[in-house]
Amino acid sequence: MLDCTPKEITERKSGGMINPAKTCQPIGAMYAALGIHKCLPHSHGSQGCCSYHRMHLTRHFRDPVMASTSCFTEGSSVFGGGANLKASIQNVFHIYKPDVMAIHTTCLTETIGDDVSSIIKTAEVAEGKLVIHANTPSYVGSHITGFSNMTKAMVSYIAESTLPVKKEQVNIIPGFVNPGDMREIKRLVKSMDIEYIMFPDTSGVVDSPMTGEFEMYPEGGTTVEQIKDTGNSQLTLALGRFASSDPADLLNKQCKVPAAVLKTPIGIKATDALLMTLRNSFAREIPKELEIERGQLVDIMTDTHFHFHGKTVAIFGDPDIVTGITEFVLSLGMIPVHVLTGTPGGSSNSAAGSFEDDINEMLTTAGITANVKSAGDLFTLHQWIKNQPVDLLIGNTYGKYIARAEDIPFMRVGFPILDRSVHSYLPIVGYQGAMRLIEMISNTLLDRADRDAKDEDFELVM
Amino acid sequence: MAEDNAGRIAERDGFIVTKGKNKKQLQCDTDSSAGCVSQRACVYCGARVVLNPITDAIHLVHGPIGCASYTWDIRGSLSSGAELYRNSFSTDLKEQDIIFGGAKRLNAAIDGLVEKYQAKLVFVYSTCIVGVIGDDLEAICTAASQKHNIEVIPVESSGFIGNKSAGYRAAGDALLRLIKPSEPIVKSNSINYLGDFNLAGEAWIIHNYLRQIGVELNVTFTGDSHYTALKSAPKAKLNIIQCAGSMLYLAGKMEELYQIPYIQISFLGIEDTAASLRKIAATLGEKSMIAKAEALIAKETARVEAIIKGYREKLQGKKAAIYVGGGFKAISLVKQFREIGIDVVMIGTQTGRKEEYETINNLVDDGTVILDDANPAELERFMMEKGAHLLVGGVKERPLAYKLGIAFIDHNHDRKHPLSGFEGAVNFAEEVYSTVCSPVWKSLSKSGIDRGVTNHG
């Protein structure tokens, strides 16, 4: 019934999107800004953008998401939004009293050419208050680019190198992941007894506890002091190249903090890499409790490997998450046959590398040929699946249309997840996250096996 | 800007009144203040929510990806046939298009989509950026119409040209182009139903009532509607309007162009549903219809009142706060709450009109706070001050209410069951009961685990 996708693949000359696998920069910038303590994100543009981004984030996190808007009218679009932005700065600090106001632009304000940094310079900002901004035109990149750009703004506006010798501490840029993931990454670093600063850090902000009171600024988030101090750290770990490498590079240029770009620690290999990097850089032992967790994970992988081996899977979503999930399912013996992200991925052989190259390299090593695409849409993914069906689909909520049309078991991971709850509280990163992923994958596959089993094949033990 | 200690801005004072206390007139229908945390949306959003329920149309959003992506199937409008409207089509403009214009990309997108889906109708929505770079939507759509011999209709919905209401008007203009007949109109005995978007199948409930009382329904704007049905709209002899905010403009135009008079009705709550059925029958003036309407009302009222009475006993004395999109819905909700024994202590809308606020003012008790275009801080303040047990709102208000330990029901995009008609009145009471009387509130305790033990008691 919901299937409007033809099987026959014809060349699409239009370049338009049918059922996008990405969204626009400002929502990523808004999410990153929420990861600063006592920060109010501000959308410089029409009311609609701000409303949509708040709505989408609210649906994913099921927590209040606060952000203000410049409330553009026709006049502001003709004469420039400078007056609106100045009034906004005044009103925001007066009414909502944040410590930081983080402005991002929209496609409208980018196109009319508002020079946000000069407007900020001439605006009156009270002592001790801070206004930062990121340019986030919606016609460039995706929400991941927006997240990266706002994280870069944190560095360019706030980070400072103030000490002659770097401190024994690590900066962690977690990338566009859930607060549950951020908590888990912090737990890993803490358990190795290493001082760290995570930024942005939305844990405690969009998963705040219920107390019977509405806190405009919940307790979580990286403080301005901490962001400032990132310039004094010995090392930055950028987790996920697409969301995190640019701010890490900038921090290196600005404050001489060397950066290591690692994969988002999804699965055993990427988690090992994170912990080994920390061990080598800070001369720490990996604590027994993490060794035990890893051992448990391997035990679980052994116990269940026959459920997964040879099963085909299609994966879509944000590039850093898709890269991590692809690596993990390969380690379980599954065969990714379609891998797609909506975010444009840098051209092949570019200095920054490309999504398609990364995925193809992993697949080639595993001896697998697959459809791999960046800047794709779900129409393309659906067509691939029609032509080459898979045993499992992994991606965000939008995958449910394909899963239903093709009757494929479906596992929800990534952003946004609009039709299930709790996901943002529980990690998919680290060894424990990997255990959870295995539980999710195997439950999805086994529930389906039960559903499809004939009476005579229906078994108690699986 | 004048200020007071509570961190309010004086600019907002005109938008808030307390019934019985203030003599001043409430301000509404104006632009929001820059820098506010507004709950309002944009022109494109208004146009999209009105047109999107047309099931067999290609809804092509001309702009960068966001606008299309955020409106992809969020409305919950059900279809009995085509599902094309549930896809998300966008020209996905890139930097190059912003510099050199997006016309080429739009042309190619229309060609590709029309070929792929063989649709008879395409809506091309203009977003903020298209209004600024100045693509000639009109010319592109006209050319595409001729090329493919179908209707390609531009929707002038650049986000910055106003608020959601301007979008309703843009949608109205697009619909007027669609329904313009090419031949002389032959009037039928049927009516059009305006302003029901078939959320959770609500239009189907009303269709059923109308059928039962012998009213012939021509087409619904726009819930579960399609190209051919909409084309026949000018034939109707009466328009009935549920959602006034989105449809008054269109109804006015249809009266002017096609001599179709309109009446406002509301199918929210038993009282309004019964009154509306009577009003429709009386306007159409057929005796048999009036009798059938009375019979239906008697039968249904008896059935649902018995159920609702049970809920009323549990809910009597609770207090509700309302913050919804339009004024007409807010008015119905006040009455509907009374039916289940609940008083309204705060009531606001995003885009209510002056006359609607006057009606609200006459309807509510002294002391009720009435506010236009509220922000979360204001909602919080008045809900706490007035001791509300329940908030009715949309997506963004839900977690706000929950964090305050206040029950919530959705009267917007995220509702999962119909709230219209007699069935809807039961669903409404049931939903209010399930949230207000949920045991979950017993787990709430400010000081944590310690006091929790007593709370559960």
Task: Answer yes or no: are the C-beta atoms of A262 and A239 closer than 8 Å.
Answer: yes
Q: Which of residues 378-417 of A touch B (CB under 8 A)?
A: 398, 401
Distance CA A442, CA A461 (A): 14
pLDDT of residue B1: 36
> Which of B12, B13, B37, B398 would best serve as a mutation to test chain A binding (most A beta carbons within 10 A)?
B37
Residue A6 near chain B (CB below 8 Å):
yes
Average pLDDT over residues A377-405: 97
Nearest beta carbon to residue A88 from set B34, B127, B128? B34
Q: Is residue A349 pLDDT above 70, yes or no? A: no
Distance CA B38, CA B47 (A): 19
Nearest beta carbon to residue B396 from set A58, A73, A77? A58
Q: Which residues of A touch B159 (CB under 8 A)?
A: 45-49, 72, 108
Average pLDDT over residues A38-49: 94
**Percent share of chain A, pLDDT over 70:** 98
Phi, psi of A142 (to 5 degrees): -155, -170
The strand pairing partners of A461, in sequence order, are: none
The strand pairing partners of B262, in sequence order, are: B239
> Are the beta carbons of A137 and B95 separated by less than 8 Å?
yes
Residue type, B374: A
Closest approach of B23 to chain A, Cα-based (Å): 26
The strand pairing partners of B125, in sequence order, are: B61, B155
3-state secondary structure at position B391: strand
Distance CA B434, CA B440 (A): 10
Nearest beta carbon to residue B108 from set A15, A58, A90? A15
> Are the beta carbons of B128 and A108 separated by less than 8 Å?
yes
Q: Which residues of B touch A58 (CB under 8 A)?
A: 395-396, 398-399
Closest CA to B270 of B303, B310, B292: B303
> Are the beta carbons of A142 and B43 separated by less than 8 Å?
no
Task: Answer yes or no: are the C-beta atoms of A231 and A315 closer than 8 Å.
Answer: no
Structure tokens, A325: 């999930």
3-state secondary structure at position A122: helix
pLDDT of residue B6: 44
pLDDT of residue B447: 61
Q: How does pLDDT run across A203-251, given as a tens digit for each residue?
A: 999 999 988 888 999 999 999 999 999 999 999 999 999 999 999 999 9
3-state secondary structure at position B239: strand
Please report which confidence band the pLDDT of residue A346 belongs to, taking 50, 70 and 90 as the band edges.
low
Please report which confidence band the pLDDT of residue A350 belongs to, taking 50, 70 and 90 as the band edges.
low
> Are the beta carbons of A111 and B98 separated by less than 8 Å?
yes
pLDDT of residue B5: 40
3-state secondary structure at position A357: helix
Average predicted confidence (pLDDT) for chain A:
95
Closest CA to A300 of A431, A427, A181, A180: A431
Q: How far is CA B130 from the centre of its chain?
A: 26
Cβ contacts of residue A281 below 8 Å, gap of 6+?
A170, A234, A235, A260
Q: Which residues of A touch B414 (CB under 8 A)?
A: 59
pLDDT of residue B9: 58
Q: What is the DSSP letter of A128?
A: T
pLDDT of residue B352: 84
Cβ contacts of residue A18 below 8 Å, gap of 6+?
A377, A378, A379, B87, B88, B89, B113
Distance CA A306, CA A332 (A): 9
Count H helices and E strands in chain A, helices first. Answer: 17, 14
pTM assigned to the model: 0.95
Structure tokens, A68: 């203000």
Which segments of A272-331 are extended strands (E)? 312-317
Label the pairing between strands B369-372 and B16-18. Answer: antiparallel
Q: How does pLDDT run across B382-439, given as a tens digit for each residue?
A: 999 999 999 999 888 899 999 999 999 998 777 889 999 999 999 999 999 999 999 9
Nearest beta carbon to residue B84 from set A4, A12, A69? A4
* CA distances for A189 relative to A10, A206, A249, A277, A326, angstroms: 49, 22, 21, 11, 24
Closest CA to B153 of B171, B130, B135: B171
Largest CA-CA distance found in chain A, in angstroms, rounded: 77
Distance CA A20, CA A42 (A): 25
- Sign of the Cα torsion A397, A402, A405, A407 reads negative
Residue with more model confidence, A52 or A13: A52
Which segments of B197-274 are extended strands (E)? 217-222, 238-241, 262-264
Cβ contacts of residue A157 below 8 Å, gap of 6+?
A130, A132, A133
Closest CA to A107 of A155, A140, A81: A140
> Are the beta carbons of A213 and B90 separated by less than 8 Å?
no
Nearest beta carbon to residue B83 from set A4, A17, A106? A4
> Are the beta carbons of A20 and B72 separated by less than 8 Å?
yes
Q: What is the DSSP letter of A374?
A: S
Residue of chain B nearest A92, judged by CA positions: B35
Nearest beta carbon to residue B129 from set A92, A108, A140? A108
Closest approach of B202 to chain A, Cα-based (Å): 20
Closest approach of A70 to chain B, Cα-based (Å): 5
Residues of chain B with confidence (pLDDT) below 70: 1-11, 22-23, 445-448, 450-457
Q: How does pLDDT run across A154-202, given as a tens digit for each residue?
A: 999 999 999 999 999 999 999 999 999 999 999 999 999 999 999 999 9
Task: Answer yes or no: are the C-beta atoms of A181 and A427 closer than 8 Å.
Answer: yes
